[in-house]
C-alpha cells in the first residue's frame, strides 16, 4: 500500500477472456480437483498459524505512550484488560488531513471485529502517527467505531518499521524484513502483542505488505469471483481503490 492518486480504471463488462463453457460433468471434475488443493491450502494455513504461535516473544523495554479520546495513555491501556493486542499500523502521517485510501479499504472490515475478538481475549486497535484530533475527525467521517490512537508521543511507528524520517527515506532501510532502497514516509503493517500478569508487554508477531491480504475481506471475496482482483491492466495494482465515501 502507498499514498497514490485516487484514480480508477473502468472494468470491462462480461466474463474474463479465459472463461469457457463446459458440461456439468466437466465442471464437477474440475471443482473436485480444485477442492483437493483448497483443502491442502487450509492444512498449510493451519500449520503456519501453529508455527506463528511458536515464535519467541520479545519483551518491550521501551515505554510507549499514545494519544486518544481521554488524553495520553500508556501502551498497557490499549489492551483494555485483555492479554492480547492486535495493532493495525494505519498509514496516516501528520498533516495529511485524511488517512491512506488503501488502509481505509482494510479498515472497512474492522468495525464489527472488536466484540468478537474480546471473547477470545484479544483487543484490536489502529495506530497512526498523525495527531489524535486529525485521526478522530477522519474516523468520524468514515463512520468507523473501532479504537484508533496516535503514536505521536513516542517512537512506536519508527521502532516497528512503518514510519521513516526524511533521512531514512533517502538512505533506505528495512521494511518487511528486507532492505528497501527508498522508504516511504508511512507504510502499512500489523503487529501483535501480549501482556503478562506482571504488566510486561511482549511483541509476538508483525507482518507487512502482502502479509496483510488475509485480513482484507474485500480481497478475499474478490478472489472467489471469475475476474478476481482484476488489477493486471491498471496503472498500479490498487489504482481502483477509493475511500468508501469517494466512489
Q: Terminal CA-to-CA distance of the chain, rounded, Å?
A: 19
pLDDT band for position 67 (cuts 50, 70, 90): very high
Residue 10: the pLDDT is 39
Check residue 19 and give its pLDDT: 67
Q: Tell me how long the chain is.
A: 247
Q: Which helix (H) or strand (E) holds 58?
A: strand 58-59
C-alpha 176/C-alpha 220 separation (Å) is 22
CB distance 82 to 123 below 8 Å: yes
pLDDT of residue 12 exceeding 50? no
- Report the mean per-residue pLDDT for the chain: 93
How far is CA 1 from each of CA 12, 17, 95, 207, rounded to the nearest angstrom?
Answer: 24, 28, 19, 13
What pLDDT, in 10s, does the model give residues 73-124? 999 999 999 999 999 999 999 999 999 999 999 999 999 999 999 999 999 9
E strand segments, 69-195: 71-74, 84-89, 122-128, 147-150, 173-175, 178-180, 189-195
**Is the confidence at residue 4, as pLDDT, over 70?**
no
Interstrand relation of 122-128 and 84-89 (parallel, antiparallel or unpaired):
parallel
Give the pLDDT score at 14.
53
Which helix (H) or strand (E) segment is 205 a member of? strand 201-208
Give the C-alpha separation, 246 to 28, whole Å: 41
Q: What gap in Å lies between CA 100 and CA 242, rounded to an integer? A: 9
What's the pLDDT score for residue 18? 63
CA distance 123 to 82: 7
With beta carbons less than 8 A apart as the criterion, state whether 123 and 80 touch: yes
Name the phi and psi angles at 26, rounded to 5.
Answer: -60, -45
The pLDDT tens digits for 219-228 are: 999 999 999 9
pLDDT band at 232 (very low <50, low <70, confident <90, very high): very high
- Name the one residue in this structure whose C-alpha cell is 500508556: 74
pTM confidence score: 0.91
Measured CA to CA, the distance from residue 87 to residue 79 in angstroms comes to 10
Amino acid at each position: 500500500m502507498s499514498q497514490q492518486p485516487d484514480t480508477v480504471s473502468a472494468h470491462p463488462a462480461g466474463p474474463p477472456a479465459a472463461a469457457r463453457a463446459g458440461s456439468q460433468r466437466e465442471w464437477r471434475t474440475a471443482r473436485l480437483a480444485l477442492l483437493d488443493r483448497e483443502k491442502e491450502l487450509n492444512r498449510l494455513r493451519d500449520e503456519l498459524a501453529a508455527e506463528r504461535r511458536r515464535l519467541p516473544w520479545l519483551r518491550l523495554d521501551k515505554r510507549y505512550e499514545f494519544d486518544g479520546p481521554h488524553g495520553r495513555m500508556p501502551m498497557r491501556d490499549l489492551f483494555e484488560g485483555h492479554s492480547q493486542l492486535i495493532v493495525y499500523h494505519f498509514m496516516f502521517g501528520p498533516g495529511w488531513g485524511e488517512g491512506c485510501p488503501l488502509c481505509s479499504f482494510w479498515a472497512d472490515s474492522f468495525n464489527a471485529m472488536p466484540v468478537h475478538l474480546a471473547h477470545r481475549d484479544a483487543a484490536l486497535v489502529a495506530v497512526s502517527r498523525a495527531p489524535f484530533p486529525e485521526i478522530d475527525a477522519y474516523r468520524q467521517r468514515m463512520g468507523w467505531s473501532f479504537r484508533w490512537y496516535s503514536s505521536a508521543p513516542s517512537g512506536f511507528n519508527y521502532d516497528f518499521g512503518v514510519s521513516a524520517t526524511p533521512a531514512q527515506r533517502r538512505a533506505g532501510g528495512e521494511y518487511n524484513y528486507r532492505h528497501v532502497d527508498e522508504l516511504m514516509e508511512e507504510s502499512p503493517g500489523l503487529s501483535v502483542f501480549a501482556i503478562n500478569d506482571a504488566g510486561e508487554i511482549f511483541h509476538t508477531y508483525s507482518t507487512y505488505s502482502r502479509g496483510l491480504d488475509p485480513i482484507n475481506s474485500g480481497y478475499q471475496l474478490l478472489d472467489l469471483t471469475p475476474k478476481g482482483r482484476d488489477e493486471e491492466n491498471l496503472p498500479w495494482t490498487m489504482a481502483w481503490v477509493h475511500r468508501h465515501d469517494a466512489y
